[in-house]
C-alpha cells in the first residue's frame, strides 16, 4: 500500500497560507513526492498531465495567465485543470490568484495555497520533504544513536544491553534518535534515514528502572529527530567456538529495503565497555569513508616487512 501524507500536514510543514478555507482538507492526501509546474497545461495541452502531483504556479506561469486576454479561454483552461482533481495549487512569491480561479477551485473542492518563498527554493524544499515522508518504510527492533555524526544502529536480542550502551553514549555527549523501535526510510538508492515513532520519541527503557526521558534528563542536545544510518552494530553473546573477525580487511553488510549498510558483529562479555567500542567503530568507519583503512595499512606494512627479508 502506498504511503500518504495528509495535505493539512503539508500545509503546516511548508507554512502555507490557505486561500480556500471552505475546502475541507481532512480527507485529502498527497501520494507522489514529485511536483508539477503546469506551464503547458495553461496553454491548453493536457496530454501526459501529471495530475496526481502537487501543482506549483511560479512567476512565469502567473505572468502568462495575466497576459491571457481571452477570459472564456482562460475559464475553460481553469475548468479543465480543476477537473483532474489535483491535490492542490500552490502560488509562490505571494502571487495572488484571481478571484475567478478561487471561486472555481472552491466549487471543484480543490484547495489553493500561497507561499512567500521563491519558486525554485520552495520546489526544492517540498520535494526533499515529500521524498522523506513518502519513502518506503519499515520498523525494526534496535537503538539508533548519532555518534560523532555517524548514525549507528545497534541491534541484538532483547535484553542484551542495547539501551544501556545507548545511555552510556548519551552520557558521553552523543545523541539518541530512537530506542526499542526504529523506523527506517529509504530516501534514495544510497541513503537510509532512521527516526523514532512519535509515541516513544526521546524515551529509553531500562530494565529494573523503567522508562527514562532522555530529553528531560540530559537536555535537548542529547536527542535528534532523524539520522542517516551509516553503520550497524549487532550485539551477540560471546561464543568461544565461533571465529570472530580480528582484522576487518573485508566489510560485512546487512540490507534494509534493498540498501546495504556496513555491519559489525560485536561479541558481548562481562567487562567490555560497549560505549567506547561503539565510539571507536564509528570513528573508524568515518576514517574509512575518508580513504584510510587501518587494517589495509597494517597488511601493507606486513607485506613490506616480508619483502625486506
Annotated binding site for Mg(2+): 163, 205
Specify whether 162 is catalytic.
Answer: yes
Q: Are 173 and 149 in contact (CB under 8 A)?
A: no
Cell of 202: 526521546
Specify whether 265 is catalytic.
Answer: no
Q: Quote the number of domains for the chain.
A: 2
Q: What is the pLDDT of residues 45-94, one digit of tens each?
A: 999 999 999 999 999 999 999 998 889 999 999 999 999 989 999 999 99
Which residue in 28, 53, 117, 162 is the catalytic one?
162
| The overall pTM is greater than 0.85 | no
Do 104 and 156 share a structural domain? no
Do 288 and 199 share a structural domain? yes
Q: What is the pLDDT of residues 22-31, one digit of tens each?
A: 999 988 999 9
Which residue in 50, 74, 180, 286 is the catalytic one?
180
Residue ranges making up the domain that contains 123 = 5-133
Q: What is the pLDDT of residues 110-136, one digit of tens each?
A: 999 999 999 999 999 999 999 888 989
Do 195 and 71 share a structural domain? no
Annotated binding site: 156-163, 205
**Residue 298 within any structural domain of the chain:** no
Query: In the structure, what pLDDT confidence band is assigned to residue 251 with cuts at 50, 70 and 90?
Result: confident
Q: Are 176 and 202 in contact (CB under 8 A)?
A: yes
Tell me the CA distances in angstroms from 207 to 62, 210, 218, 271, 274, one per residue in order.
Answer: 60, 6, 19, 19, 17
Q: Are 107 and 130 in contact (CB under 8 A)?
A: no
Do 238 and 122 share a structural domain? no
Annotated binding site for ATP: 156-163
Do 282 and 184 share a structural domain? yes
Residues 6+ apart with CB under 8 A from 90: 16, 54, 55, 56, 57, 112, 113, 114, 115, 122
The number of C-alpha atoms within 13 Å of 46 and in the hemisphere containing its C-beta is 12
Q: What is the pLDDT of residues 208-249, one digit of tens each?
A: 888 999 999 999 999 999 999 999 999 988 877 777 777 777
Do 192 and 158 share a structural domain? yes
**Residue 302 within any structural domain of the chain:** no
Do 262 and 174 share a structural domain? yes
Q: What is the pLDDT of residues 189-202, one digit of tens each?
A: 889 999 999 999 99
Do 163 and 68 share a structural domain? no
Cell of 193: 534515514
Amino acid at each position: 500500500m502506498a504511503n500518504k501524507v495528509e495535505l493539512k500536514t503539508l500545509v503546516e510543514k511548508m507554512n502555507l497560507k490557505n486561500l480556500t478555507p471552505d475546502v475541507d482538507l481532512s480527507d485529502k492526501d498527497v501520494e507522489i513526492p514529485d511536483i508539477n509546474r503546469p506551464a503547458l497545461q495553461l496553454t491548453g495541452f493536457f496530454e501526459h498531465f501529471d495530475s496526481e502531483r502537487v501543482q506549483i504556479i511560479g512567476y512565469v506561469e502567473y505572468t502568462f495567465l495575466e497576459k491571457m486576454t481571452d477570459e472564456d479561454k482562460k475559464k475553460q483552461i481553469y475548468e479543465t485543470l480543476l477537473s483532474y482533481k489535483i491535490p492542490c495549487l500552490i502560488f509562490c512569491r505571494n502571487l495572488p490568484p484571481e478571484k475567478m480561479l478561487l471561486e472555481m477551485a472552491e466549487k471543484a473542492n480543490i484547495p489553493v495555497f500561497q507561499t512567500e518563498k521563491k519558486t525554485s527554493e520552495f520546489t526544492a524544499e517540498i520535494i526533499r520533504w515529500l521524498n522523506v515522508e513518502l519513502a518506503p518504510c519499515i520498523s525494526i527492533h534496535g537503538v539508533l544513536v548519532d555518534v560523532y555524526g555517524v548514525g549507528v544502529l545497534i541491534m541484538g536480542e532483547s535484553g542484551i544491553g542495547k539501551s544501556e550502551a545507548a545511555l552510556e553514549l548519551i552520557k558521553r555527549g552523543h545523541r539518541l534518535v530512537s530506542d526499542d523501535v526504529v523506523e527506517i526510510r529509504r530516501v534514495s538508492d544510497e541513503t537510509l534515514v532512521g527516526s523514532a515513532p512519535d509515541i516513544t520519541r526521546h524515551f529509553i527503557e531500562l530494565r529494573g528502572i523503567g522508562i527514562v526521558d532522555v530529553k528531560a534528563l540530559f537536555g535537548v542536545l542529547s536527542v535528534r529527530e532523524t539520522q542517516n544510518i551509516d553503520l550497524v552494530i549487532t550485539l551477540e553473546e560471546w561464543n568461544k567456538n565461533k571465529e570472530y573477525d580480528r582484522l576487518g580487511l573485508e566489510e560485512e553488510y546487512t540490507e534494509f529495503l534493498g540498501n546495504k549498510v556496513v555491519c559489525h558483529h560485536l561479541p558481548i562479555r562481562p567487562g567490555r565497555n560497549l560505549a567506547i567500542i561503539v565510539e571507536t567503530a564509528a570513528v573508524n568507519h568515518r576514517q574509512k569513508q575518508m580513504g584510510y583503512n587501518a587494517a589495509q595499512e597494517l597488511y601493507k606494512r606486513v607485506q613490506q616487512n616480508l619483502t625486506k627479508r
